[in-house]
Structure formats: C-alpha cells, structure tokens
C-alpha cells in the first residue's frame, strides 16, 4: 500500500527495505517503521508532536482515562468489516493497539509526521502494523487502496484521503465534542469557547455518528500535568492560571467526543 514519495509507484518490501520500480529505496529503522517524508515536505527539522508530548500522551492513555472512547471506536470499526485501515496522524498508536486486540486480522497502516510518534507506535505494535513517517497532506499511499481512513484529533487533506480510499471506503473521524475539557478551558481562559463540530466534507455523507461523553476525573497531580502536556492547552492560557492547574492535586473535567463515519457519495 505504501507508494514512493518521489515517483508515486508502489513500494515493495524485501527484508528491511522498501523499493519502487524506479529504484528509489527506503530502509526501515530498527523499530520497523520507514521514513517516507522527503526533506522538502518538512516545514521544520523535527515536525509534529514532540517526544515529550508523546510520552505524556502515552502515560495518560495507558492509565485508561480515554478507555471508553477507545472501546467505542473499536466497536465502530469492527462493525464496518474492513480488511485494511490507514490511521493518518496515528500518534503513538494507542487506538490502533486497542483495535488490533479485537481484530488481529485487519491490515493496519499508520503514519504520522512526528518521528518520535511513529517510532513509539511501531515499537509497541511490533509485527501488528506498518508504520511510516509521512504527512497527511501528501500521503505516500497508492490510490484506491484503503478500506478505511481513520483520523483521531489530527489534521490532514480531504483530497488526499479521497484519493487513497477505495470507492466504497469509509472515513472515520474523531473530533472533540462541544463540551470537551470545558472546565479545564474555564480554568485557563476568561471566555472559553465551545468546540464547533466540523462540516461533513464535500463528496462524503455522514453514515453514522456517536457521541461519547463522560466525567473525566483526574485523581492526582501527575494526571493533570499529563493532560496539560499532551494537549494544545499547554501552549496557551494565562501563566498564573496554568501554574495553578499544574499545582492542583486533582481536577475533574468533561470528556466529550464524536465518532463519525463518513462514506463517499460520488461513485
Ligand atoms: C493530538 S495528536 C493525536 C494523535 C493520536 N491520533 C491520538 O489520538 O493519540 C495529533 C497528531 O497529529 C500529528 N500530525 C500533525 N501534523 C501532521 C501531518 N501534517 N501529517 C501527519 N501527522 C500530523 C502529530 O504529530 C500528532 O501525533
Ligand atoms: Zn520511486
């Protein structure tokens, strides 16, 4: 399914190297992933989420705070009866790992622009998936090759996603619901805004939608700081408010998510 980022031909894997018919080749790292992000596709030397954000996200997710979301997602994916799944902006692979436990036969492909993210995902899924450092805006993926594209809180190009999906393919998107982490935002900003839900992208219809909302109890200071460090909040808000939060012994907020299944309607 990987395509050469230089000439777009199919890549074949022999031992630890992916090669195209034109002779371009990409070696796998020791964790098994491959770098398919060309130097001219990067806006910085080390794009995407940092290793520190990743480590905090992994610790937070592994403590089970978003387990309800992961289980709901696995169920939604299972019901779609797919053979291949591409996770665009897969992070350190938490949702893929959860899904693979219930559906080990599905062929899993994941990419992220952050090398640290891909390294961690590849290491924890071992033989369970194929991972690449790549951008969701220029997918190194063959056209019409994927049953399902997954995007969990990550950016990407809709046109690229349409190109790689098979005609009857599904696009599963997880976005924050209006009240997601609202009390955390109240603690940081004078006038916090509710999240807007995205429009259904052109060329797709919304086949199903599921809202997952629950009380998010962070029982200790460590969990509060992990959440702050893994979300964009870490960069914003007033310094005093942030310090107060960073020092708090616990915090309760709202988790609010939408899982949407979109289907292409132009075929
Ligand atoms: C909020 S995180 C979500 C990660 C993961 N899906 C999860 O929920 O745990 C957003 C991810 O998108 C990645 N990302 C940002 N820009 C990207 C791009 N252009 N292409 C691919 N991934 C990108 C970041 O490196 C980060 O891992
Ligand atoms: Zn090539």
Using the mean position of ligand 2's atoms as its centre, give its distance from the Cα of residue 110 in Å: 20
Distance CA 116, CA 54 (A): 7
| Residue 1, in any domain of the structure | no
Going by pLDDT thresholds of 50, 70 and 90, the confidence category of residue 139 is: very high
pLDDT at 267 over 70: no
pLDDT at site 266: 67
Asked whether 112 lines ligand 1 (CB < 6 A), one says yes
For 156-192, write each residue's pLDDT tens digit.
999 999 999 999 999 999 999 999 999 999 998 888 9
Residue 4 lies in a domain: no
Count of domains for the chain? 1
In angstroms, rounded to a whole number, what is the distance separating the alpha carbons of residues 2 and 131?
10
Distances (CA, A) of 251 to 57, 218, 224: 17, 5, 7
Is the CB–ligand 1 distance for residue 85 below 6 Å? no
State the first-to-last Cα distance of the chain, in angstroms, to the nearest integer. Answer: 22
Any domain includes 126: yes
Spatial distance between the Cα atoms of 139 and 41, rounded to a whole number of angstroms: 11
Q: What is the mean pLDDT of the chain?
A: 94
CA–centroid distance, 31 to ligand 2, in Å, is 23
Residue 88's nearest CA partner among 42, 47, 140, 41 is 140
* Residue at token pair 């310094």: 239
Ligand 1: which of 41, 44, 50, 89 to mutate, judged by most atoms within 8 Å of the beta carbon?
89
Which of 68-82, 84-98, 111-125, 185-199 is predicted with the least confidence, judged by mean pLDDT? 185-199
Say if ligand 1 is within 6 A of residue 148 CB.
no
CATH assignment at residue 34? 3.40.50.150
Point out the ligand 1 atom lying closest to the alpha carbon of residue 57.
9
Taking the CA of 47 as reference, the closest ligand is 1
Residue 5 forms part of a structural domain:
no
Cα-atom radius of gyration of the chain, to the nearest Å?
19
In a domain, 128, yes or no: yes
Tell me, yes or no, whether 3 lies in a domain.
no
CA distance 40 to 50: 20
Question: Does residue 211 register a pLDDT over 70?
Answer: yes
Q: Flag whether 96 is in a domain.
A: yes
pLDDT > 70: what percent of the chain?
98
**Could you tell me the residue range of the domain that residue 234 belongs to?**
12-262
- Local confidence band at 238 (pLDDT 50, 70, 90 cut-offs): confident
In a domain, 32, yes or no: yes
Q: Does residue 237 carry a pLDDT above 90?
A: no
Residue given tokens 């080990």 in the structure block: 104
Structural element, H or E, at residue 94: helix 94-102
């Amino acid at each position: 399914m990987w395509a050469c980022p230089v000439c777009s031909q199919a890549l074949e894997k022999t031992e630890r190297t992916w090669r195209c018919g034109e002779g371009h080749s990409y070696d796998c790292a020791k964790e098994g992933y491959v770098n398919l992000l060309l130097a001219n596709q990067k806006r910085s030397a080390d794009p995407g989420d940092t290793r520190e954000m990743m480590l905090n996200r992994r610790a937070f997710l592994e403590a089970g705070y978003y387990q309800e979301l992961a289980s709901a997602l696995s169920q939604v994916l299972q019901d779609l009866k797919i053979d291949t799944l591409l996770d665009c902006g897969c992070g350190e692979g938490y949702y893929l790992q959860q899904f693979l436990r219930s559906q080990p036969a599905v062929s899993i492909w994941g990419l992220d622009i952050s090398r640290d993210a891909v390294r961690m995902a590849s290491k924890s899924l071992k033989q369970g998936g194929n991972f690449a450092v790549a951008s969701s805006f220029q997918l190194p993926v063959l056209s019409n090759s994927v049953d399902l594209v997954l995007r969990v809180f990550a950016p990407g190009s809709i046109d690229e996603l349409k190109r790689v999906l098979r005609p009857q393919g599904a696009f599963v998107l997880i976005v924050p619901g209006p009240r997601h982490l609202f009390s955390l935002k109240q603690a940081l900003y004078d006038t916090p805004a509710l999240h807007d839900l995205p429009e259904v992208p052109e060329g797709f219809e919304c086949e199903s939608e599921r809202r997952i909302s629950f009380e998010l109890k962070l029982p200790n200071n460590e969990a509060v700081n992990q959440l702050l460090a893994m979300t964009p909040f870490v960069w914003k808000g007033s310094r005093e408010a942030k310090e107060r939060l960073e020092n708090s012994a616990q915090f309760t907020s709202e988790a609010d998510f939408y899982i949407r299944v979109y289907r292409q309607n132009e075929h």
